[in-house]
Amino acid sequence: MKISEQDIKTVASLSRLRIREEEADDVIFQLNKILTYVENLQAIDTTNIEPTTYALPMQNVFRDDKVKPSLERELALSNAPLKEDGYFKVPRVLEEQI
């Protein structure tokens, strides 16, 4: 399965990444090489084989619903690139109504 330039652009956009013009050829070449290699899995018959997400058997893990102290607000905000009045601050999300 060959990955096209358009596919790459879609995946990059989903990943919130931008591919620079000058690196596009190499990025596509390397991704295609890897995706071509992993094609070897298609040769295996996996009919009736259940997928494994975690190697060790695990059921739902419950704990008591007890209130415990959590990270203090100041500490939680201590690594924020931009903050104001105890909140994380981000650029505008919605356009202004005209």
Partner 1 sequence: MTLHEKTAHELHELLQTKQISSAELTADIFSRVDEAEDKIGAYLTLTRDKAAADAKAVDDKISRGEKIFPLEGIPCAVKDNICTKGIKTTCASKILENFVPPYDATAYKKLAAQNPILIGKANLDEFAMGGSTENSAYHVTRNPHNLERVPGGSSGGSAAAVAGGEAIFALGSDTGGSIRQPASFCGVVGFKPTYGRVSRYGLVAFASSLDQIGPLTRDVTDCALVLNAICGHDEMDSTSTAAQVPDFTKSLVADVKGLKIGLPAEYFVKGIDAEVEAAIRNVAKKFESLGAEIVEVSLPHTEYAISTYYLIAPAEAATNLERYDGVSYGARVDGADVVEMMTNTRTEKFGAEVKRRIMIGNYALSAGYYDAYYLKALKVRTLIQRDFVEAFKTVDLILTPTTPNAAFKLGEMTADPLKMYLQDICTVPVNIAGLPGISVPCGVTGDKLPLGFQLIGKALDEATILRAAFTYEQNL
Indicate whether 67 belongs to the interface with partner 1 (CB under 8 A). Answer: no
Indicate whether 70 belongs to the interface with partner 1 (CB under 8 A). Answer: no
Helix (H) or strand (E) holding 27: helix 24-37
DSSP per residue over 49-93, as a string?
PPP-SSSS----------------HHHHTTT-SSEETTEE--S--
Q: Using the rule CB under 8 A, which residue among 6, 42, 67, 97 binds partner 1?
A: 42
Binding residues (CB under 8 A) for partner 1: these are 1, 3, 7-8, 10-12, 14-18, 27, 30-31, 33-35, 37-42, 44, 46, 49-56, 58, 61, 63, 71, 75-76, 78-82, 88, 90-93
